[in-house]
A and B are shown apart, each in its own frame.
Chain A
Amino acid sequence: MQQLRKTSGNLYLSHVNLSFINGKNSLPVLIDISLEISSGLFITVVGPSGCGKTTLLKVIGGLLTKNDKQISLKGEILVGGVEPSQAKFSRMFGFAFQNPVLLPWRTVSSNVKLPFELIGHNNTQDGEKILDLLKLMAILNFADAYPNQLSGGMQQRVNIARALVHDPSILLMDEPFGSLDELTRERLNCVLLNIHRVKQPTIIFITHSLTEAAFLSDKIIVLTHRPAKIKCIINSTLGPDRPINIKTSIYFARLVEQLRAELADIN
């Protein structure tokens, strides 16, 4: 099982090019993206606004495929050794979108249960598992509430719980904490690191916050302006242990500085 997980979280992109096609016009978004990510790593993606980070995430997650008429997609993408559209059917992905995208007619726990329903997964322990996740996200008291009774931060926690519930081998997170206040964000960062340590999914995490990127990642991918190329990939100098006070260390400060320099170099 552990062995299977190790390979199913592998990610391989080779010379990926993507353009949006609108009539005769073609708008290049991703240019020559090549990546090799081994299973279980925490990867963050940073880059200027609108550079194509979300598009990259959608390509990896099989939401944009070569069959889509509005795009032209070239290159090779393998997720755990198979194409993303195939990996999708093996339910390898957990998506946490920028907006929480909770279904307003479902309670919190029922929203988190959605992946199980769609997969056709039905275990007696499912209910328990959902409650455990809600507890981990500190929203257990709101299990029976409807989404529009929750604050933005709480909705995001439900969003993340839902992305995790079916134990995906790859978690794709599109700036999930972007709209949260600093303290909530820090707390959820720690929760996420904890989950990563325990379940070891590969995580691709988009963010605009340099400190968040530095705090969470094993590797940081810096993208250029659109059409996005990979500017550089920074390996974290921080160890696997990430207590919150690591943010005051000199290594952390250097990492953030390096990141800032790379981003400033783009502009």
Chain B
Amino acid sequence: MNLIRQTIPVVIFLILVLIFWEFCVYIFNIPEYLLPKPSVIFTKLFQSLSFLYPHIGVTALESFLGFLLGILLGTLLAIVFVHSKTLELSVYPYAIALKTVPIVAIAPLLIVWFGNGILPKVIVAAIISFFPVVVNTVKGLRSIDEEAFDLFDSLAASKWQVFIKLRIPTSLPYIFSSLRIASTLAVIGAIVGEFSGADKGLGFFILISSHRLETVDMFVGILLSSLLGITFFYAIALIEHYVVPWSRIISSEAE
């Protein structure tokens, strides 16, 4: 019920924007290579869907693998940082510094190193989704309540018990919020990787459409890559819904 009430205004707004867009293109007679009508874009989308499936598949695979790699490395590094002050002090600044290097600048180098296949895209997606995971997981693992720690200590809990029964559950809401960010970043990473050199994927499709000035196709590509990001985002949100039910209760109480 709540979901429907939240969705209706969003959908209505979207429809209004599309109608306005269609209307403007029609009134001002804007040429299609500059701004195509939404109706034309959607028609083209459904016509070329079967042709685009492989491209969508490749980009989805690259994003997904990059996302997995990024969160795996990010979580491991965060655990290491939390348990070793020395490593945190020596490595964490570099992890942050690496973040300031524009990912677009690294992508061509990775193409040189790893060729034209999906590997360099997976790496770009992994690098870009890695940072929010490290930062949030470190924050989450650190956020245990002093009194909760005392409680475990008073029962002579082992380090392992504290980690499994206190640190991990405490940090899960933080980790999931970083996963939601990372999920959409991973798609961006994959597309950026494809821009730098690829022969398939949505990024590749957008790029060649741009060279051919096929604006309708570009819009189709943009639309599909956003949909991909949104799908990843909601997939994570859905998993979170079942894995971290208490954080849902917290947020619904807060409303």
Contacts and interface: CB of A to CB of B under 8 A. Distances in A.
B148 A146 contact: no
Interface in B212-253: 244-246, 249-250, 253
B154 A146 contact: no
A81 interface: no
Contacts of B169: 103, 105
A27 interface: no
B32 interface: no
Q: From A61, A104, A119, A166, name the one whose CB has the most chain B CB atoms within 10 angstroms.
A: A104
Given A97-B147, A118-B161, A105 B154 contact: no
Contacts of B156: 88-89, 91, 118
Main secondary structure of the interface of B (DSSP, over half): helix
Contact of B155 (A105, A115, A148, A149): A115
B166 A103 contact: yes
B165 A97 contact: no
B109 interface: no
B157 interface: yes
How big is chain A's contact interface, by range? 20 to 34
B150 A97 contact: yes
B92 interface: no
Nearest to A166: B155
A91 B246 contact: no
Interface of B: 145, 147-148, 150-157, 161, 165-166, 169, 172, 244-246, 249-250, 253
Interface of A: 58, 61-63, 88-89, 91, 93-95, 97-99, 101, 103-105, 114-115, 117-119, 146, 148-149, 166, 172
Interface pairs A-B: 9 shortest CB-CB: A95-B154, A118-B155, A105-B246, A105-B169, A101-B147, A89-B156, A88-B156, A118-B157, A104-B246
23 contacts: A58-B150, A62-B153, A88-B153, A91-B155, A93-B154, A94-B154, A95-B151, A98-B147, A101-B145, A101-B151, A103-B148, A103-B169, A105-B245, A105-B246, A117-B165, A118-B152, A118-B156, A118-B157, A146-B246, A146-B249, A148-B246, A166-B155, A172-B154
Given A58-B150, A62-B154, A94-B154, 4 more contacts: A63-B153, A91-B155, A104-B246, A104-B250
